[in-house]
Amino acid sequence: MKVELQLDRLEQIQDVVGSDVPEIVAGMLRTMGDAIAQVERAMAELDLAAVAKAAHAARNDALLVGAKDLLAALTNVEDAARRSAAIEAKAAQSVLREVWPSTRAELSRVASRAD
């Protein structure tokens, strides 16, 4: 799956935050990975409030890096979880599982430019 990122927002704030885009992306990659792992754990326990919270946290970073497919998947997970629609949340989680690996790989490629 081809993943396109839109990093112009990060390019605009890199001077303000004192880090360059690869460093910012590396941090976001860690926080998104942690949040998506929390989605998985919370979904296994059917703790839909925790699912919604974790999906929302990851969604913010997906928005900032312009990862549209990941953003859509996280939005669907969050929305379904907030509505206590467990079956829909699980279906959305399946899409998340499809888009996250390729998005993570592309983010890792951007983050590796910091080396």
* Domain presence at residue 1: no
Whole-prediction pTM value? 0.87
- Structurally, how many domains does the chain consist of? 1
Write out pLDDT tens, residues 15-30. Answer: 666 668 888 889 889 9
Which CATH number is 47's domain given? 1.20.120
Neighbours of 16 (CB within 10 A): 7
* Domain presence at residue 4: no
* Domain presence at residue 113: no
* Domain presence at residue 99: yes
* Domain presence at residue 13: no
* Domain presence at residue 37: yes
Cα 82–chain centre separation: 17
In degrees to the nearest 10, what's the CA dihedral of 56, 98, 40, 107?
Answer: -60
Burial of 51 (C-beta count, 10 Å sphere; 0-12/13-18/19+): buried
* Domain presence at residue 14: no
Write out pLDDT tens, residues 32-72. Answer: 999 999 999 999 999 999 999 999 999 989 998 889 999 99
Confidence of residue 110 (pLDDT cuts 50, 70, 90): confident
The Cα–Cα gap between 53 and 60 comes to 11
At residue 52, the pLDDT reads: 98
* Domain presence at residue 10: no
The domain of 36 spans 20-108
